[in-house]
Chains A and B, each alone.
Chain A
Amino acid sequence: MVEKQNVKSLGIPKNDFLAHVRRSLGRSDRLDPSPPYHRLAEDLAVLEEHAAEIRRRLEDKRSHLLDQFAETARLRSWNLFRTTNAEDAVGYAVELARNHSISQIARSDQSVFSELPLDSALQSSGIECVTVLQDEASSRERLRSQIIESGLGMTGADYAVAETGSVVVVPRRGLSRLVSLVPPVHLAIVRIEDLVESLDDVFLLRRLEYYRNGEEMGSYLNFITGPSRTADIEMKLVVGVHGPKEVHLILLG
């Protein structure tokens, strides 16, 4: 947890604000929802049970979901590469960097990379790879400028969602939010066991983690669904505004 910063609450006191809301609702006293909202009444055991059901369903439907994910991901302009082979995945990454004449890559330090002989392959191709972390001495500022200079950002993902073609990233050590956002090309590597069917699945699994960790959500939860885009001028689609113009996804396993 962060240290408690001693900043006082500004504006109108909470209780006055809430009292006014209550008066607007025609009440003078607090009236909690009764019965409580069904989702907020679920305890850890119930969530565990739901999660187990989800895992069984995902297991049963795995191959169907892989096809569904491939289709929705392509619709959202991911360049998708499916392989069971770690060497091929590394080959794809190196090839991608070469094709774009990229000399420096930034990558997050997620567990999927420990399964891939990536750093050595990049090194032998003369491509420098900046890893987020774990040198305590390296300052945030230096890391940030290294990410900005990189032509390709590589990340893992905690979930891939078949319904939407999204990858979902949860904070952890060795992971910078900027890696998937600032370089012009992003490559995400997803393990097939992290594939879920729907948004509901992701949120249920996150809620389970939340309660397991003593109500700690982590500072962010990011869904990435294709490249950065805009249609703010005359509704014409332009890809690559503040985020990457080109996004690749390796589905591994």
Chain B
Amino acid sequence: MAEVKTQDFVAASGAAIEDATLQRALRQVGGGFNEARLEAIEEVSWEAWEQWREEARRIKVHALEHLDYYLELLYEQVTKAGGQVHFARDAAQANAIVAEIAQARGVKVATKSKSMVSEELDLNKTLESVGVDVFETDLGEYIIQLAEETPSHLVAPALHKTKEQVSELFHEKLGVPLTDDIEEMARVAREALRSRFLAADLGISGANFLVAETGTLVIITNEGNGRLCTSAPKIHIGITGMEKVIPSLQDLSIFLRLLPRSATGQRLTSYVSMVTGPRRNEDEDGPEEFHLVLVDNGRSRLLADPELREALYCIRCGACLNICPVYGKIGGHAYGWVYPGPIGAIVSPALVGLKDAKDLPHASSLCGACREVCPIKINIPRMLLHLRHRLAESPSDAENSSTLIERQAAKGYTWLMSNPAALSAASKVGRMVQKPFSSEGKVAKKVSLPLVSQWTAARDLPTLARRSFRQIWADELEGESETRG
């Protein structure tokens, strides 16, 4: 499985904000994706859009409620079409399956089209360890593979890189001259990858959707690399999360309308490629073997939790990232794992363990924009709040969002606030103690207070007032309402 750095969220997000190049890259993207999305929706009318969202959600609710049934149907149909289906409980098992297929057939070179699940599994590392040269072929993925980085966005993996950085990377790794022409950079990638496509014995793809009715794997791309990966090599392995299955081929139309518009504002991507089994005898080309690897890797934990199941409805369009004020400021890497942004803050804790991703559900202002833009109407803020609740109430010290001392302090505070005599006495003491440390009604910044120092780092702590409200009430206000009455 891909390295988990979600524990470092606070430090990483702080560093991201200080990173001037990243901030420039994020600014360049700005609201571009979202503007395109809005334009695409207005073209079809908000009314139609709402209907599509409702229908897509209904399909996902149904498919996940009967996931066992549809996986079985998918299995039967893929098998009938001449394909092989393999089931993987976790990342290690999924990687082992792909490695075994590759090794058994002496695969030397593999090309890959973009797949977030393979990022989640860190599949490339496994393949390299068994002697397979793996080439990412999506331009963004190719860039980050050369840079030895991870994707920072679900749709545009190299979003965090400026064109200057890409040019320097190509110059260093491929020996081409520096350029500021993006078209030239794309040409360089095309040239570099063309020979790989033709040399590859194995093509690996993810899946945007799996159709149970016909046993079909659907991928949506713009560059054409997905089509090359799935049709040129002798073997095609599709690897994806088990939640991608939808019942009928006909259900696809609604998702093909929602996904590209939500992701990039396109009416449809340049290519939608649907694969059903290997090449048939009468076909002129295509892979001789087709394998489908279905991965659980923690998804069943989301499935089992009625509060979190809807996170599995996600179609990875990235719209919630593009609208999120937090993502817009810190980018994708700070989240510390493969799935960034608001939906990532729910999926990652489920897949890597909540105790290691405690900060992610807090990486949100709960403004609700993610829910508004989600094509499947996933209630992301509700789930973030739910995870916060769970963290706050967790009996496990490792998982609880506060320390034992903090929890004891909160208990003490609750007791104090519900005992007027004690509160009054404590206030008196407090007023005396605070005197040397305060000025202009605030506690001086240089005083580091236990427990609340993180809070006061960015805020002033007001001093206790000279007179409490209860005193003012008793001395001056009591009885006034009756007098006025």
Q: Measuring CB to CB, which residues of chain A are less than 8 angstroms from any residue of chain B? A: 1-2, 4-5, 7, 9-14, 16-18, 20-27, 30-33, 37, 39-40, 72, 75-76, 132-133, 140, 143-144, 148, 164-166, 171-178, 181-182, 198-200, 202-204, 206-207, 210, 215-236, 238, 240-244
Please choose the segment from B154-162, B356-364, B377-385, B462-470 that sits at the chain A interface, where 4 or more of its residues have CB less than 8 A away.
B154-162
18 pairs across A/B with beta carbons < 8 Å?
A1-B280, A1-B281, A9-B86, A11-B88, A11-B94, A13-B87, A18-B68, A20-B296, A40-B213, A76-B270, A203-B253, A219-B279, A220-B276, A223-B273, A226-B270, A233-B139, A233-B185, A241-B186
Complex Cα–Cα for A144 and B143 (A) = 28
Question: Please, which residues of chain B bring their CB within 8 A of the CB of A16?
Answer: 87
- Considering only CB atoms, which chain A residue lies closest to B256 in the complex? A199
| A217→B81 contact, CB < 8 A | yes
Check B270–A25 contact: CB distance below 8 A. no
* Given known A-B contacts A30-B69, A220-B273, A229 and B223 have beta carbons under 8 A apart: yes
Alpha-carbon distance A219/B82, docked complex (angstroms)? 10
Contact A10 B82 (CB under 8 A): no
Known interface pairs A200-B250, A231-B156, A231-B264. Does A243 touch B270 (Cβ–Cβ under 8 Å)?
Answer: yes
| With known contacts A219-B278, A232-B139, A241-B189, A177–B286 Cβ distance under 8 A | yes
A contact face: mostly helix, strand, loop, or mixed:
loop
Whether B435 is near chain A, meaning CB under 8 Å from some CB there, is no
B278's closest neighbor in chain A, by CB?
A2
CB interface residues, B 247-300, toward A, < 8 Å = 247-253, 256-257, 264, 267-286, 288-289, 291, 293-294, 296, 300
Complex contact B214–A217 (CB within 8 A): yes
User: A140: nearest residue on chain B (CB-CB)?
Assistant: B285
B-to-A contact residues, CB < 8 Å: 25, 28-29, 32-33, 62, 65-69, 71-72, 75, 77, 80-82, 84-89, 93-94, 96-97, 100-101, 137-140, 143, 156-159, 161-163, 166, 182-183, 185-186, 189-190, 193-194, 197-198, 213-216, 222-225, 227-228, 231-232, 242, 247-253, 256-257, 264, 267-286, 288-289, 291, 293-294, 296, 300-301, 303-304
Query: Is B198 in contact with A5, judged by CB distance below 8 angstroms?
Result: no
B29 partner, pick from A32, A182, A235, A243, beta carbons under 8 A: A235
CB-CB under 8 A for A40 and B248, given A1-B82, A24-B304, A174-B284 = yes
Inter-chain contacts of A17 with B (CB < 8 A): 71, 87, 89, 294, 296
Docked pose: A120 CA to B439 CA in angstroms? 96
In whole Å, how far is A207's beta carbon from the nearest beta carbon of chain B? 5
Contact A21 B242 (CB under 8 A): yes
Nearest neighbor of A242 in chain B, beta-carbon distance: B224
- Closest chain B residue to A210 by CB distance? B214
A25 to chain B: which residues have CB within 8 Å?
65, 67-68, 303-304
* Residues on the A chain within 8 Å of B189, using CB: 241
Choose one: A24, A27, A238; the contact of B300 (CB below 8 Å): A24
Residues of A within 8 A of B87 (CB): 9, 11-14, 16-17
Determine the chain A residues whose CB is within 8 A of the CB of B162 once the complex forms: 234
Most chain A CB atoms below 10 A, which of B67, B88, B186, B190: B186
A193 to B366, CA, bound (A): 52
- A82 CA to B295 CA in the complex, in Å? 47
Q: A10-B100, A177-B231, A178-B231 are in contact. Are A31 and B69 (CB under 8 A)?
A: yes
Kindly list chain B residues whose C-beta atoms are within 8 Å of the C-beta of A37: 62, 247-248
| Contact flag A140-B284 (CB < 8 Å), given A4-B82, A37-B62, A243-B270 | yes
Shortest Cβ distance from A133 into B: residue: B284
Contacts of B278 in A (CB 8 A): 2, 219
For A144, give its contact among B32, B159, B198, B275 (CB under 8 Å).
Answer: B198
How close is B35's CB to chain A, nearest CB, in angstroms?
A: 11
Are the CB atoms of B251 and A26 closer together than 8 Å? no
User: Given A20-B300, A39-B213, A206–B249 Cβ distance below 8 Å?
Assistant: yes
Please tell me if the beta carbons of B285 and A176 are within 8 angstroms of each other in the complex: yes
Query: Are the CB atoms of B69 and A33 closer together than 8 Å?
Result: yes
What B residues does A9 contact at CB under 8 A? 84-87
- Find the B residue at minimum CB distance from A225: B268
Say yes or no: A176 contacts B284, CB within 8 Å. Answer: yes
* CA distance in complex: A102, B84 (Å): 42
Evaluate whether A243 and B293 lie within 8 angstroms (CB atoms) in the complex, with A164-B268, A225-B270, A238-B182 already known: no
**With a CB–CB cut-off of 8 A, which chain A residues contact B163?**
233-234, 236
Q: Which chain B residue lies CB-closest to A172?
A: B282
Q: Given A132-B284, A144-B198, A232-B157 in contact, is the A72-B267 Cβ separation under 8 Å?
A: yes
Beyond contacts A219-B277, A220-B275, A242-B193: 8 other A-B pairs, Cβ-Cβ < 8 A, are A24-B303, A39-B248, A173-B283, A181-B228, A203-B250, A223-B272, A232-B139, A242-B197
Which residue of A143, A166, A217, A226 is within 8 Å of B284 (Cβ)? Answer: A143
A232 touches B80 (CB 8 A): no
Minimal Cβ-Cβ distance residue in A for B157:
A232
**A233–B354 CA distance with the chains assembled, in angstroms:** 34
Chain A residues lying within 8 Å of B227, measured Cβ to Cβ, are 177, 181, 222, 243
How near does chain A come to B455, taking the closest CB pair, in angstroms? 38
A-B pairs, top 3 by smallest CB distance, nearest first, are A243-B224, A232-B140, A199-B253
- Chain B residues lying within 8 Å of A233, measured Cβ to Cβ, are 139-140, 143, 158, 161, 163, 166, 182, 185-186
B282 contacts A173, C-beta separation under 8 Å: yes
User: Cβ of B67 and Cβ of A11 under 8 Å apart?
Assistant: no
Question: B225 — which chain A residues lie within 8 A by C-beta?
Answer: 241-242
Contact B270 A228 (CB under 8 A): yes
Also in contact, A10 and B66, with CB within 8 A (given A200-B253, A233-B158): no
Please name the residue on chain A nearest to B216 by beta carbon.
Answer: A217
- Between B140, B157, B284, the greatest number of chain A beta carbons within 10 A of the residue's beta carbon is seen for B284
Chain A residues within 8 Å of B277, by CB? 2, 217, 219
Q: Which residue of A lies closest to B217 (CB)?
A: A220
Give the residues in chain B near A13, CB-CB below 8 Å. Answer: 87
Task: Compute how far the CA of A243 lies from the CA of B273 in the bound complex, rounded to whole angstroms.
Answer: 13
CB distance B284 to A32 under 8 Å?
no
Complex-state Cα separation, A210 to B80, whole angstroms: 13
Given contacts A219-B275, A220-B275, contact A241 B285 (CB under 8 A): no
Q: Contact at A18–B72, with CB atoms within 8 Å?
A: yes
Contact among B66, B138, B224, B294 with A232 in the assembled complex (CB-CB below 8 Å): B138
Q: Which residue of A lies closest to B87 (CB)?
A: A17
The answer to whether A11 and B248 touch across the interface, beta carbons within 8 angstroms, is no
State the CA gap A192–B477 with chains docked (Å). Answer: 85
